[in-house]
Structure 1
């Protein structure tokens, strides 16, 4: 027997609204605003240096928030992401610049039915990111640096419009801009401060609808303690905000306001090979899935 709570003629509208609500809560996860920096990323290396970097990132989420309130019911979203990155440092007119490319790959998996969205997954190669940083302040004597970065995400990664937010690619252009300042506070303590601004193109095939997103911002901070033998520990803080979306012309009221922390240990196991291990989680989430555990591994080769 059909429920009398929703008249037959209103069922498509109710399902449509539920679908938009469920999809909007992925805003802070599958469509993250930030390029999360690591401690030391904004300390430039000499011209002619190359870096080959491989990242592995695993995160689990089983709690969802909407306007600061926890959404009842089961939820599950796991991401297993790899990043292959190549960086080249060069001198242009006395300014150190590092053109680079980042290629993401891996899997996004919705492990529990969430509203009208059924368990599903997406895997493959994501949208590559190209860009560079230019250091307009490069003072090794004072142990102080500042740089500006610009990146563009190319919409060529694996994407299935029927899966909406559960995709490894985004099916849209994205521009990401960062400004960073690095200062040694003492012989052992280093502070990194980064501000980010992101702009988004339109995804014209999001569950068969048009998805737009407002600009988003991020603040990132790292406090490093330098150890002997080219090692360090660090504590990082990330705050992402903004980026409200519109789907099929309907405002989603899903503005991101997420805070998280990350602890780092890094060491050179060889003069040219660095290993880095990180662990952390979200502190608070206004809208979207809350990350309850994150583990990152990075292998860096200098040549």
Structure 2
């Protein structure tokens, strides 16, 4: 492999990291992950997420002025089930992304890439281990009036189903499996005010066809804190923050100095509209690797309860 090909691969490692929110979502903010629902609950979601700014650039590369604009449509489905007597949620998500990433590269100049396509689908199983047995609507209403501490765990798996072409510099699909294990706790401060804390770890398989070389990545570890205010059924808001560290990668024989380390803060509000529908609006911002680089994420989603 020539030096140019290797340099191109390293440069692309920076750009492609912006395209995989499902696979590299140690940065994601997810309030009320472990808040239960009555068994049999089904929710369909159609959402739009728009990301702007310097999204996970590689600090070891000679790149200045990285700027991304990515729009992602996500279709999701959630069902609450009885899992060995406990409340559990099964969530399926499928994204479609369209975006542009530009960067100034020494000796090359400005590089801009446009991309669009289906992303990697994901499945998540969340189980409440303590404090939330499988409930009917009446039992759930009683829990809402007098919330109890809840301990839960989840497993999220991202499959390499997205669009991927080994001859293309930038792809929407990651061409690798990813999985996240998480432990979460919800503690009531009052009957309307909750705090949720979570610790998680992402692990990744190798991408064996990254421009003809293998891409490997270390695990990413994250902690998250959410302060949640409930108003009435279907109406709540949250303040969210997280911190993540890890994910150093290797391209072929080259170990990159691309350790991901920083935090994100944001807020979400969910409010009911019409019958059996709700709208969720979220905004988040974060810096990248202790630098002045930053990014902003805005999302809006329509949720329909069956």
**TM-score, normalised by the number of residues in structure 1:** 0.85
Shift of 1:154: 1.2
1:128 alignment counterpart: 121
In the TM superposition, residue 103 of structure 1 has moved relative to its aligned partner by: 0.7
| Equivalences, count | 289
| Partner in structure 1 of residue 173 of structure 2 | 169
SS at match of 2:241: strand
3-state SS of 1:19 partner: helix
Where do 5+ consecutive residues of structure 1 fail to align?
A: 1-11
CA distance change for structure 1 residues 250 and 148 in 2, over 3 Å: closer, same or farther? same
- Aligned to 2:282, which of 263, 278, 284? 278
The answer as to 2:294 corresponding to 1:295 is: no
Task: Report SS of the residue matched to 2:120.
Answer: coil
Deviation at 1:249, TM superposition (A): 1.8
CA-to-aligned-CA distance 1:161-220 (integer Å, 9 cap, x gap): 2344x3211001111111111122112321111211111111112122110111111212
The answer to whether 1:159 aligns with 2:141 is no
Report the Cα offset of residue 62 of structure 1: 4.5
Relative distance call for 1:266 and 1:199 in structure 2 (3 A) is same
| Bigger shift: residues 194-203 or 69-78 | 69-78
1: CA distance, partners of 2:94 / 2:13: 26
Query: Per-residue deviation at 1:23?
Result: 3.0
Work out whether 1:43 is the aligned partner of 2:35.
yes
Quick one: structure 1 residues 41 and 300, their matched pair in 2 at CA, closer, same or farther if it must change by over 3 Å?
farther
The verdict on how the C-alpha distance between 1:121 and 1:114 changes in structure 2, with shifts beyond 3 A counting, is farther
Change (3 A) 1:57 1:288: farther
Inter-partner Cα distance in structure 2 for 1:239 and 1:259? 4
Please, which of 68, 83, 99 is the counterpart of residue 92 of structure 1? 83
Aligned to 2:51: 59
Aligned pair in 2 of structure 1 residues 64, 152: CA closer, same or farther (>3 Å)? Answer: closer
Contact 1:75/1:114 (8 A) holds in 2: no
> What CA deviation, in whole Å up to 9, does each residue of 1:54-110 have, x standing for no partner?
22110111487655x996633221111121111111113311222221111122321
Distance of aligned partners of 1:249 and 1:111 in 2 relative to their CA distance in 1, 3 Å threshold:
same
**Cα deviation, residue 269, structure 1:** 1.5
Matches within 5 A, 1:1-303: 12-13=2-3, 15-16=4-5, 18-26=7-15, 29-32=18-21, 33-34=24-25, 36-62=28-54, 67=59, 73-114=64-105, 118-139=111-132, 140=143, 141-164=146-169, 166-228=170-232, 230-282=234-286, 284-286=287-289, 290-303=293-306
